[in-house]
């Protein structure tokens, strides 16, 4: 068992099982609304405290999904109900002007090649269907984190604990690295050509829906 797992267990032991899932929720909620927290690594570290339990894996997955949807909904609600600082609104508008994938499907693409942070804010600015946003958030989360948890469980089944954690970490870091590379290489394909007119993609999409 790795030092980080021992440290995590000692830290969370006084809080019990509910405390563990509360920390998981906070970790992924913060990732969804404020700043990146390497959620893939977090999922692996939390799972490593009991990697042979299927119910535990399912509970972690559900906690992650709830946190991500809540993060999406929080930003969406804030942008819809409060005036954003002009600088932030202008930055979002300028960025979305180059969107090539103009609808909620970019949430799935974002799982592979992250190009849009603060998805809830973009959903509000682009007037996306929030139900579709939630659906794609759940679908992408299930696919991505199920793969990570299932792979990690397989490693723990066939390898020693320390080796399994190391291999699982390498797998997760590889996923993150590939995502960063794809985000860089496919940025123009996802964001589209930068020679469009002044009207941003969100406005175009809203007009199309109104028509």
Per-residue pLDDT at 130: 93
In whole angstroms, what is the distance from residue 1 CA to residue 141 CA?
A: 27
Segment 48-93, tens digit of pLDDT? 878 888 899 999 999 999 999 999 999 999 988 887 777 777 777 6
The pLDDT confidence band at residue 183, using thresholds 50, 70 and 90, is low
Which pLDDT band holds residue 146 (cuts at 50, 70, 90)? very high
The alpha carbons of the chain give a radius of gyration, in whole angstroms, of: 19
What CA–CA distance (Å, rounded) separates 36 from 29? 10
Residue 70 dihedral angles phi and psi, to the nearest 5°: -65, -40
Q: So what's the pLDDT on residue 185? A: 62
Mean pLDDT of 12-36: 79
Return the minimum-mean-pLDDT range out of 23-32, 93-102, 134-143, 163-172: 93-102
Residue 194 has a pLDDT of 46
Candidates 187, 153, 161, 198; CA nearest to 44 is 153
Residue 2's pLDDT band, with cuts at 50, 70 and 90, is very low
Q: How many helical (H) and strand (E) elements, i.e. helices and strands, does the chain have?
A: 11, 0
Q: How confident is the model at residue 197 (pLDDT cuts 50, 70, 90)?
A: very low
pLDDT at position 191 over 60: no
The pLDDT assigned to 186 comes to 53
Which one is predicted more confidently, 13 or 134? 134
* Mean predicted confidence (pLDDT) in 163-175: 82
- The span from the CA of 181 to the CA of 79, in Å, is 30
Q: From CA 211, how far away is CA 51, in angstroms rounded?
A: 52
Can you give the pLDDT at residue 1?
39
Q: Report the predicted TM-score, pTM, of the whole model to 2 decimal places.
A: 0.76
Could you give the count of Cα atoms lying within 13 Å of 45 in the half-sphere of its Cβ?
20
Note whether 170 and 163 are within 8 A (CB).
no
Provide the token pair at 138. Answer: 């759940």
């Amino acid at each position: 068992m790795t030092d980080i797992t021992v440290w995590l267990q000692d830290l969370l032991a006084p809080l019990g099982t509910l405390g563990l899932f509360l920390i998981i929720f906070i970790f992924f909620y913060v990732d969804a609304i404020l700043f990146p927290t390497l959620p893939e690594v977090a999922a692996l570290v939390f799972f490593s405290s009991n990697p042979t339990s299927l119910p535990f894996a399912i509970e972690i997955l559900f906690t992650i999904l709830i946190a991500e949807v809540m993060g999406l909904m929080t930003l969406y609600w804030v942008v819809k109900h409060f005036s954003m600082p002009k600088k932030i609104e202008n930055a979002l508008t300028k960025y979305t002007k180059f969107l090539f994938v103009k609808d909620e499907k970019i949430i799935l693409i974002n799982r592979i090649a992250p190009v849009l942070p603060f998805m809830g804010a973009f959903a509000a600015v682009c007037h996306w269907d929030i139900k579709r946003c939630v659906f794609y958030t759940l679908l992408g989360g299930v696919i991505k984190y199920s793969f990570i948890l299932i792979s990690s469980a397989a490693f723990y089944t066939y390898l020693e604990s320390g080796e399994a954690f190391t291999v699982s970490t390498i797998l997760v870091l590889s996923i993150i690295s590939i995502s960063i590379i794809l985000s860089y290489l496919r940025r123009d394909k996802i964001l589209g050509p930068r020679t469009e007119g002044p009207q941003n993609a969100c406005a175009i999409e809203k007009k199309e829906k109104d028509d």
